Every structure is written in structure tokens, then in C-alpha cells.
Amino acid sequence: MPLKRAPDAVVVGSGPNGLAAAITLSRAGLSVTLFEQAASIGGGTRTEELTLPGFLHDVCSAVHPLGVASPFFLSLPLQEHGLEWVHPEVELAHPLADGTAALLQRSVEETSTALGIDAAAYRRLMGPMVLKWPVLAPDLLAPFHFPRHPLPFALFGMKALLPANLLGRLSFKTPAARALFAGMAAHSFLPLDRPLSAAFGLILGTLGHASGWPVARGGSRMITLAMASYFRSLGGEIVTGRDILSLGELPSARITMLDLTPRQLIALGGAALPEGYRGKLRRYRYGPGVFKVDWALNGPIPWIAEGCGRAATVHVGGTAEEISKGESEVWQGMHPERPFVLLAQPTLVDGTRAPLGKQVGWAYCHVPNSSTFDMTERIEAQVERFAPGFRGLILARHTRNCAEYERCNPNLIGGDINGGVQDLRQFLIRPTLFSPYRTPVKGVYLCSSGTPPGGGVHGMCGYHAATYALKTT
């Protein structure tokens, strides 16, 4: 369908970053049209009936510590457009083989006290970061720059640069505290003996105390539905079912924002991109992928450990050593026998997602990039280990491997859900060192999680990219 008039700006992709860019440009007074290849908007925030009627499953993201804390989201009236964060009683539970669980609670005090002899160490590690989070957030959730608050940033950086295994061992004595930290650090997708893997444990732990690990009532789709509704209220236009295959297909506009990862830009840009820049994009690396299972369940998961039934997120993987072994194996191209499983049970706090008395379960583990290996049995065995009887509750299941994910959303290259590896090199060079959002094509910018600050539902890549575009175009 032809557009009513040529817009000032166009955006390709309706993930949280595409919508964040579109909103930022609209707020600056530009007319904006957004194109999405799928039939519905949302990218990594879709919610669908994947198993049985009445069971709503988050296809991708489920838990949103970065979303609720995002300085950009906080600047938007998303509540007025239908978004409601729902907080569990316990932010995160990490069951252990002895029938207990380490719990991340909103209060640093309660979390640390439950860690026994590690109580003081936990308070020392997390306490200062939680206090400083309001000044740290704008520096951390941004492209690399000289920090506005150098001292707290440097104190964070000294620990964050360490491998998670090392920081866990230096900080804690108990298996419970070490496992809790390792599970959070494993969100990095990095082997836990690699530099910077500790950063993810520190940030996610801090967020647990500072603003929580909530889910969105009605499913993660409510985040981008609220963003789209606000965008339309500003006059923005959204066109779905439009797969953009080259830059030449787009209406000419002052600004073009691409919610795409570097490899996709090579294809879209074609000969318009100078060879030097194409080389940089080709050197950009993608990391492990995911294998995911969604369950329709006949009731709550029967965890042995108290606390797991009060948390929307459960890290299933046992000790820090087990988690570290599994994550390293994935980087060696192997499929761990006992994978680290990230599990969400959102119906415990959001009854709108399943028929009365029933539950949905969401879980994934890391696998080598592009893997098509079926991890269902291994994921379910891990859950059964800490919740005997779990399998008996399964009414239906839906699985998706790396290749299937990439077919649904071309941004998920080989099943990589972060838009590229998030190691030290690609923390600095994402995908270029200076002006990471700018491309050599005049007026064309990257704004996806393949730019700083990287993966997760927070919209900060889109916000920074659009702000940069407004300043420089």
C-alpha cells in the first residue's frame, strides 16, 4: 500500500529498539513510518498461544529487570498505554541439590542474611552498587564514553571486568552465594572464566534490589503494544508484513533507522556500503543460541525448595561449577548433558495467561550457534531434579531451536538473542568503536541490540541511536 506522504524518518523493525527510535524521532517532531516484516509487531517481545487455547506464552523475552529500570521506558507514559509491571514476592530463586534455594529478594538485607556466613560479603558486593544505581544506570546503559560519574563507574568496572568465576570465588565461601551469582552472570552467554562475565551478575543482582525482576501483565507483548500505542498517539505509522530486502526499497527520508544486526546491514546496504565498513561488519561475531521449551501445565511446578514457588524466575543448574562447566561446553560446540536452564513461571503472579488453576512454564538453555539439537529431554530432566513430579504436570509443550528462531525473526542470527557476542571487544566495538550507530550511508543508522548497550528489552539502543541521528543529520 503506498504511503500517504513521504515521512521525515523511516524505521525498519518493530522490536523494542525500533519502537524506541521511532518514538524518540516522533517526540522530536518528525513524521515517522515503521516497517515490520512479521504480521505483528514486537520482535523479541511477542506473546502467543503456543500450546493450548487460553495458554499465553512469551515467545522470546519473559522477565524484565532491564525494562522496568530503563531510563528511556521510565520517560514514557507506558502505563497509560496498557503496560503494567507485575512483581513477584521473590525476584529470583536458585534451587540447590540439598533441597534449599538461594533467593534474590528486593531487600539486600534479607537476601544477604539468608546467605549465612556470606551475608557481610554479599552486602559489601551489592550494597554500594544498589545505592549508586541511579547514577550508574545512565553511564552503563549507553555507548562507551567518559562516565559522568567516574568514581562509582570505576568501582563497578574493577569488579565487572573480572571473570564471574573469579569474582564469585573471591567474594563468597558458600555454594549458595556462588551459585546465585554464577546463575546471574550466565545471562552474559559468556564462559564464566572470561573477563566481563561478572558484569552481568553484578548488574542483574543490583537490578533485583533496585527495581526488581518483573513480568508484564498479559505477557511481554504488552511492552511493545504500549510503545506502539504511544507512537501512534504521536502520529506515527506502522506497516506490518513488509520485509525490507534493500535500502533502495525504503521511501527516501531524512533519517533511516535499522533495528537490524550488523550482518543484516551487509545484505540490505549492498554496494552502498564501502568495503572497509563491510569488513568491520563481517568481523562482528555472533554468540551461542538458545533452545526453548514452553509448557502448558496442570498446576504450579512442585519445587522442593521453599522460595522457588514465590519467584517468577528460577535458575536451574545447581552449583556455580556445574553452571560454568555447561556454559563452557556450549562455547566448545557441545550440548551440555546438564544445561543451565533459565526458567520463568509468570502465571504465579499473572493469572491472565492461563485458565484457572493452570500454569504456563517458559525455559531455555544456551546451545552452540545455529544448533538444531533437541534439548527438551535435558531441560526437563534438570527441572525434574529440583521439582520431582514436574513432568506429570505437562499438558502440552512447544519447542523452538536456533534455526526456527531465526526463521521467525531474522535478527536472531543462529539463535543469538543478544544481537551479537557481548564480550569485552564487542562491548567497546559494537559494531564500530566510534559512533557505533552511524553507517557510511548518509542518514542511515543502526539501532538494534547489535549496538550499545546491547541485548535485553530496554529500548536504550534505539533511544541513543535516534538521539545521535537527530544531532548529526
Ligand X SMILES: Cc1cc2nc3c(=O)[nH]c(=O)nc-3n(C[C@H](O)[C@H](O)[C@H](O)COP(=O)(O)OP(=O)(O)OC[C@H]3O[C@@H](n4cnc5c(N)ncnc54)[C@H](O)[C@@H]3O)c2cc1C
Site residues, ligand X (CB under 6 A): 12-18, 35-38, 43-45, 60-64, 66-67, 243-244, 259-260, 264, 290, 292, 364, 405, 409-412, 417-419, 448-449, 455-457, 461
Closest contact distance (angstroms) between CB of 189 and ligand X is 11
- Choice between 43 and 414, CB closer to ligand X: 43
Closest contact distance (angstroms) between CB of 301 and ligand X is 18
- Choice between 179 and 446, CB closer to ligand X: 446
The x, y and z cell numbers of residue 391, run together, are 513432568
Closest contact distance (angstroms) between CB of 35 and ligand X is 5
Answer whether 262's CB lies under 8 Å from 273's CB.
no
H helices then E strands: how many in the chain?
17, 16
In 10 A of CB 252, how many CB atoms? 10
Cβ-count burial 139-173 (b if 16+ within 10 Å, e if not) = bbbbbeeebeeeebbeebbebbebbbbebbeebbe
Closest contact distance (angstroms) between CB of 123 and ligand X is 27
Closest contact distance (angstroms) between CB of 125 and ligand X is 23
> What separation in angstroms does the CA of 263 have from each of 184, 280, 468?
28, 10, 22
- Choice between 72 and 172, CB closer to ligand X: 72
From the list 350, 354, 324, the residue with the least C-alpha distance to 339 is: 324
The vertex-267 CA angle with 264 and 273, nearest 5°, equals 105
Closest contact distance (angstroms) between CB of 315 and ligand X is 12
Cα atoms in the Cβ-side hemisphere of radius 13 Å centred on 17: 30
- Choice between 72 and 122, CB closer to ligand X: 72
In 10 A of CB 81, how many CB atoms? 17
Residues 442, 440: Cα–Cα separation, whole Å? 6
- Choice between 152 and 346, CB closer to ligand X: 346
- Choice between 122 and 295, CB closer to ligand X: 295
- Choice between 305 and 417, CB closer to ligand X: 417
The H or E element that residue 237 is part of is strand 237-239
Closest contact distance (angstroms) between CB of 293 and ligand X is 10
